Amino acid sequence: MRFTSQTSSDGVTEQFFTLGEIPGVLWTPEDARGARPLILLGHGGGQHKTAPGNVSRARRYAAAGFAVVAIDAPAHGDRPKDEGFDRIVAELRAGMAAGENPGALVAGMHSYLAGQAVADWQAVLTAVQRLDRVGAGPVGYCGMSMGCGLGIPLIAAEPRIRAAVLGLLGVQGLAEDAARITVPVQFLLQWDDQMVRRDQGLALFDALASAHKTLHANPGKHGDVPSFEEDNSLRFFTRHLS
């Protein structure tokens, strides 16, 4: 793990790093020492580790005492381009322009990336928890849309993750992994999501095997999650990881 820059402001330290080929960012409380809860923060499709929503959420969590780490997903952000992925994205755009329901194409895109994404997260989790200021505290995962599509296989495979905030995605391609998830989940659904059919989103919530899962649905489109849900997510992680 190689740190390439470090800045601190408003009580939060932000460090860019690479781990092998994986570019990432770690946020911790300034002067943090000792083990603390860690949140793995997955970004949406076409976004990257420092998308504005990611950064504001990460800084907020770090100010509350958490460590937060984000990485670029395969074929995103500072990662190399990938012809197979570009082809899938082109098909997805063409399908949506033609008025197709994008569920199957989105699921295919996530499935194409998931194997690498899961391996990346597992390596980053191991490396970050070796740092003194992070340590081997309880771990949560937070990701919407593609962050949910890559997070569900990760959580199904990774026993170190003990709670998750997921959502903005349908069940296609994810039912089997969802049925292996038993940790507490807070699941966000946008009632008028133009990318995710309502019944498919409800079916993904339904497919999670967690005894403690809670669905929050709000009016609006894919990108319109109300800001009070950020408070709810932080409270959820505080309840389950502190």
Q: Report the distance separating Cα 5 and Cα 173, nearest Å.
A: 38
- Are residues 217 and 209 in contact, defined by beta-carbon separation less than 8 angstroms? no
Q: Which is nearer to its own copies, 93 or 239 (CB)?
A: 239
Q: Report the distance separating Cα 114 and Cα 88, nearest Å.
A: 14
Q: Does 239 bind its own copies (CB under 8 A)?
A: yes
Q: Does 104 bind its own copies (CB under 8 A)?
A: no
Stretch of 114-122, 127-135, 160-168, 201-209 lying at the interface with its own copies (CB under 8 A): 201-209
Q: Shortest Cβ distance from residue 195 to its own copies (Å)?
A: 19
Q: Does 226 bind its own copies (CB under 8 A)?
A: yes
Q: Does 137 bind its own copies (CB under 8 A)?
A: no
Q: What is the DSSP string of 169-227?
A: --STTTHHHHTT--S-EEEEEETT-SSS-HHHHHHHHHH---SSEEEEEESS-TT---T
Q: Does 214 bind its own copies (CB under 8 A)?
A: yes
Select from 123, 197, 217, 222 the one that contacts its own copies (CB under 8 A).
217
Residue that the structure tokens 């076409």 belong to: 46
Select from 58, 213, 234, 237 the one that contacts its own copies (CB under 8 A).
213
Q: Which is nearer to its own copies, 125 or 225 (CB)?
A: 225
Stretch of 46-54, 98-106, 168-176, 208-216 lying at the interface with its own copies (CB under 8 A): 208-216
Q: Which is nearer to its own copies, 60 or 160 (CB)?
A: 60
H-type alpha helices, the chain? 52-63, 83-97, 103-129, 146-157, 175-178, 198-207, 228-241
Residues in region 150-189 near its own copies by CB under 8 A: 189
Token pair for 169 = 């995605």
Q: Does 215 bind its own copies (CB under 8 A)?
A: yes
**Bridge partners (DSSP) listed for residue 166:** 187
Q: Shortest Cβ distance from residue 175 to its own copies (Å)?
A: 17
Q: Which is nearer to its own copies, 194 or 214 (CB)?
A: 214
Q: Of the candidates 45, 44, 147, which has an alpha carbon nearest to the alpha carbon of residue 89? A: 45
Q: Report the distance separating Cα 195 and Cα 184, nearest Å.
A: 25
Q: Shortest Cβ distance from residue 223 to its own copies (Å)?
A: 17
Using CB under 8 A, list all residues that contact its own copies.
189, 191, 202, 205-206, 210-219, 226, 228, 232, 239
